[in-house]
Amino acid sequence: MQDIDRLAAVIRDERPWGGFERFTLNEPSTVKIIEVLPGERLSLQRHEHRDELWVALDPGCVFEVDGQRVEPEVGERILIRRGQTHRLSSSGPATRILEIAFGHFDEDDIERLEDAYGRS
């Protein structure tokens, strides 16, 4: 995985009770939890106006970025810069990711390069 802490300025703050990670502070962002059904995949796509941070919430996620395929551990993160091709899929079980989009978010900013559902 990429050095996400350096790329996206993730801040770790230690407290007496544990701590937290801050992913964004006072900047435009959109936060989603994306669910992928067993064995399904999203379109191969890219965006012009936003970066995306993906965090694996369940086992079975498959991240594909610029042709590199990674099966992350739960909690593992990857930063996808605007313009990079990417796809999310499931290696078998239903799975979820946390997605934080940085920049202007608009569903029309999706350029689909391949799509199993006839949307490209």
Per-residue pLDDT of the chain (120 residues; tens, 9 = 90+): 444 444 456 788 999 999 998 888 888 889 999 999 999 999 999 999 999 999 999 999 999 999 999 999 999 999 999 999 999 999 999 999 999 999 888 888 888 999 888 887
Which structural domains are found in the chain, ordered by start? 28-111 (2.60.120.10)
pLDDT at 107: 83
* pTM, two decimal places: 0.85
pLDDT at 4: 45
Give me the residues paired with residue 16 across strands. Answer: none
Task: Tell me how many degrees the CA angle 109-114-39 measures, rounded to the nearest 5.
Answer: 105
Three-class DSSP category at 6: helix
User: Is the CA virtual torsion 111, 102, 85, 72 positive or negative?
Assistant: negative
pLDDT at 26: 82
